[in-house]
Every structure is written in C-alpha cells, then in structure tokens.
Structure 1
C-alpha cells in the first residue's frame, strides 16, 4: 500500500464511479481498476461492491476512508512544512545577547520578525557575553548573537547595529555624583564592581585597559554576572562601575548617578554576528528583517571597523 493506492481509493470512494474517478485522477480506467485490486489484495479485503451499473463501498471500504484521508492530509502537511522551511517561512533562530545593553535591539528585531515571519521562532538567550556567544555561534549552539569584540573571528560574518559609549555609574551621594564629567584618574582609590572575568565581557576588558592607561590598577571589590546586579551593588554603595550608556538606560537607576568620562575611550560597537557558512533559510529571513529593524548607523555605513 502506498500513497498512490490511497489517492486512487479515495477518488473512487467519493465518486462511486470508476470512470469519473479515472478522469479526476487524469488516468485511464483500466490502470485505476488494477490499482484498486492491488490495494484490496494488500489489505486482504474487498473495498467496493461492483455491478455493471453501480459501485458501493463495503464495510471495509467505509472503515478505510478516515485513515486514508488522515494519511494523505499528513503527507500534504509534511510537504507544506518542508516547503515553508525551505522558503524561510518557518524555523528556529537562536539569538544570544548580553543583557540590558541589547534590550532595545532585541525587542525591535523580535517585533519585526514576528510581523514579517510569524512562523519563525526567535529563541532568546540572555546574559551571553562576547566570548561565550561567539564560541556558541561557531559551534552551532547559537545561530545569531549581538556581541561587542576587539577582533573578528574568521568564521564569523557581522554587521554593526549600534554605537555605544562608556560611562561611570556611581552611588547617589557619592563625591562624584553631581559631576557631569569625571576622569578615571580621579577614581584610583575607589572600590569598583565589575562583570566577572569569565565568560569574557569586552566592557570589563576595556575598563581594565582604561584604568591602566589612567595610571592605576582598579580595586574590584565585587563581581557580578549581569548589569542588573551591578546596578544594585552601585545603588547600595558597594562601589562604582564602568559600563555602557545602553546598559544603564535599560535598568532601574534608583540611588544611582551616571557621569560621562573625560578620557577619549573608543566607542563600543554592537554587532550582529553569525557563521559565514551557516545561513539557514530562517536565519536569512531574520537577517533580512534586521536590516530594517536594526540598520547600521548612518555615520558608520561603509566604515571599516576592527
């Protein structure tokens, strides 16, 4: 028994006439008759009662109608699902990002993907920092990531989607809280809270380098796994933190003041990153949507950034 047999059976069962069923199937009547006989031999039961004038379903034939329709409908659904996946209408895209600094970017992209391709599931993985995210993309555990880096891995393709600036978050009431601009050199004796060294935050790396350039090694008294915790620690007066303007813009800032840095620290650039050889149809659709939802800032279009 195969799909051709079931299709032929349903045509005869619905028409109750071999001639009309053969026309419907665009075939001659004798091959249709042989197909039905083959199906009956395979099932070990007569499916039709035939006379010179009429065709009627047997009890076995009536019992086969429902299962035959389910099988053929399942086959059509399978073909449709494969076609939709191949066209990028459905699929799974796993997106990694590093918490609140990427919130607006993730939200804008998710909204447009949902509008344009509701069959694509954009599965989000937060608190995924640069080194960890890039390893996951290269290994195939993530399809796409929003990252900040110093060096682009050769396996990775990318596009800049935002420019960010480094700032200092200090507790309310701190001696620097009412300042608009602060030099890191003024903070050499201050306690700091920072992201953990692993899994590799570029913000922490930039902080360490900037502190060295300012002539001191920072006193990191507490580490945290995410920016929400960092801001809670700052608000509690545990220490200052070096962070991004996009991060502090998307977390509660009760009992916190944000001040600009006097040092000319190069801006950070948030990028969409994906494997050069890993563009599935669903990922291609998400990347296409990202060009509208997260366009490269105009002043960076065509700029060759590291």
Structure 2
C-alpha cells in the first residue's frame, strides 16, 4: 500500500467524482482510476460503486475512510515533527465555509494565518452548510469550519465568533422597501426564497423558527443552496429572504435590507473543529482566531 493510493482514495471519496478528484490531484482520470483499483486489489475490497452516472462509497469504503484519514494525518504529523525542529509551524489546514455569510470572518482569519504562519498550507472548501460541516469535522475531512450554533455533536468543539440580528432582504420596488424596520408577522403572505431544508443550513433553521414563533409558516417559492444566489433571486423579484445584518453592505443592486422590529432574532456564528484532531497547525490557528475573531460580549 502506498501513500499516493490513499490520497487518491480520499480525493474520490470526498468528491464522489473521478473527474473532479483527478483535477484536484492534478492528474489524468485514467491513472487515478488505476490507482484506486490497485488499492482495492491490495485490500481485496471494492471501495466504490461505479456506474456511468455516479460514484458512491461501498460499506467497505465507508469503513476504510476514517482509517485512511488517520494514516495520512499520521504521515503529516511525522512531517511536521521533523520540520518543527527548525522552529517553524508547518502543516495543512482545510477550512469549510458557507460563502457570503462568512465574508466578515473568513478573510481576516486566512489573511492573518498566511501572514503569521506562511508555512501552513490552507485549503478553503466553499458551500459547506452547518450539517455537512459537522459531519466532515467528525470524519476528519475538514480541520476547521464556520458553523451556525449550536451544533449537535459531542465530537465537535465550537466557539462563538459573531452574533448577527436578522433582517429581511426585499426587492427595491417592494411596498415595504422604504421602511426603517418591519415586524416579522407583516411578511406572513410573502413568498420566501430559502435554502432547501435538506441542505442543513442553520441560517434557514433559525429563520424558519422565527417565522413560526411569529405565528406563520413561510410560503417558500424558490429553494437554492448558495446564499448569495438567494440574494440575486430577490433582486429579480422572485421573493424575499430572511438574512443576517452582515450581508447588508454586500446586498446586490435591486435589493434592500430592512431590520426586523421587536426582540432581535440572532444568528450565532461559530468556529468548529474536531476535539480529537488538533494538530500543531490547527492549535496555532485556533489561538490566532481568538485574537482575530474574539467571542462577542453579551449585551
């Protein structure tokens, strides 16, 4: 068994697509398929179910994945230990984020990491909703992730980094667009653009609960995973969207952000990591994050 075999397996397991995995590994698809087959032959287990339309992990593949992560992690730890004798901090950190919702948190952290620890390699993985982020932190596919709090996992540690009140994003020509604030119950008859329920978005979960608490269930007219695409759909007049105040400065033309009246409804933004997998690189990243993204004080 060779390390490159494991790297190939992990890439395909995460992408569930040989073409994307090959591109990620900067190799052709045919050699990648051959490498995976060598690993399967060595293990005497089929790791993937393949057909012309999809790739999926078999039961054996699911069972082998955490061990593959552990082996690759051990190799990286050994490499870091050897390099650490020179006094620097080395390693690789894979960070998951949603997208536009993290525009106030992700850039300051990654800039500081690159400046302070240039020998730490960063990989940023976008469009990762909270539910998927937690699963990938548990499995070791991610080292850090921006999540909505609270999370339901004893294996994932978190820290609050930002608290943002909700408001509503409206088309600029909407009847309520010139209001200074809006009562949530005033939106009961509106059509909402949201992420799919199956996406596991904390933003959507908090927003939907707020509507129910206000006495109505929102009428969803369009579902789309990317939060910024939600804003673009609002700009076209498809519907309205509940979003946090952090997006107000970057809302696209044709939209307006209006705060909600009454008791604020907050989105709790957090940073998550596996409590069992804190490499030297992740350790210094967490320490730096405490300075760059301090926990807000309760008011």
Q: TM-score, normalised by structure 2?
A: 0.69
State the partner residue of 1:126: 126
State the partner residue of 1:177: 177
CA, structure 1 residues 101+263, in 2 after alignment: closer, same or farther (shift >3 Å)? same
State the partner residue of 2:109: 109
Rounded Cα–Cα distance in structure 2 between residues aligned with 1:89 and 1:142: 19
State the partner residue of 2:213: 213
Rounded Cα–Cα distance in structure 2 between residues aligned with 1:85 and 1:243: 47
1:79 Cα offset (Å): 7.8
1:216 Cα offset (Å): 1.6
State the partner residue of 1:160: 160
The 3-state SS of whatever aligns with 1:237 is: coil
1:86 Cα offset (Å): 9.9
CA, structure 1 residues 173+201, in 2 after alignment: closer, same or farther (shift >3 Å)? same
Rounded Cα–Cα distance in structure 1 between residues aligned with 2:156 and 2:265: 22
1:176-196 CA-partner distances (Å, limit 9, x unpaired):
100011112111111111111
1:203-227 CA-partner distances (Å, limit 9, x unpaired):
1112221222222221100011112
CA, structure 1 residues 271+91, in 2 after alignment: closer, same or farther (shift >3 Å)? same
- The reply on whether 1:149 has 2:167 as its aligned counterpart is no
1:221-277 CA-partner distances (Å, limit 9, x unpaired):
00111121111111000000011112343x342010111112424422211111111
Rounded Cα–Cα distance in structure 2 between residues aligned with 1:206 and 1:253: 23
Large movers: runs of 4+ above 6 Å? 78-81, 85-88
The 3-state SS of whatever aligns with 2:192 is: strand
Please, which moves more after superposition, 207-216 or 185-194?
A: 207-216
Rounded Cα–Cα distance in structure 2 between residues aligned with 1:295 and 1:87: 27
- The reply on whether 1:293 has 2:292 as its aligned counterpart is yes
Matches within 5 A, 1:233-244: 233-244=233-244
The 3-state SS of whatever aligns with 2:263 is: coil
State the partner residue of 1:200: 200
State the partner residue of 1:137: 137
Q: Which segments of 5 or more consecutive residues in structure 1 lack a partner in the other structure?
A: 1-77, 301-306
CA contact (8 A) 1:98 1:128 kept: yes
The 3-state SS of whatever aligns with 2:198 is: coil
Rounded Cα–Cα distance in structure 1 between residues aligned with 2:161 and 2:85: 27
CA, structure 1 residues 129+271, in 2 after alignment: closer, same or farther (shift >3 Å)? same
Rounded Cα–Cα distance in structure 1 between residues aligned with 2:225 and 2:252: 18
Rounded Cα–Cα distance in structure 2 between residues aligned with 1:252 and 1:174: 15
State the partner residue of 1:259: 258
How many residue pairs match? The answer is 222
Q: TM-score, normalised by structure 1?
A: 0.68
Rounded Cα–Cα distance in structure 1 between residues aligned with 2:285 and 2:123: 12
Q: CA RMSD in A?
A: 2.1
CA contact (8 A) 2:182 2:259 kept: yes
Larger CA Rg, structure 1 vs 2: 1
CA, structure 1 residues 86+237, in 2 after alignment: closer, same or farther (shift >3 Å)? farther
State the partner residue of 1:189: 189
Rounded Cα–Cα distance in structure 2 between residues aligned with 1:287 and 1:247: 25
Q: Which segments of 5 or more consecutive residues in structure 2 lack a partner in the other structure?
A: 1-77
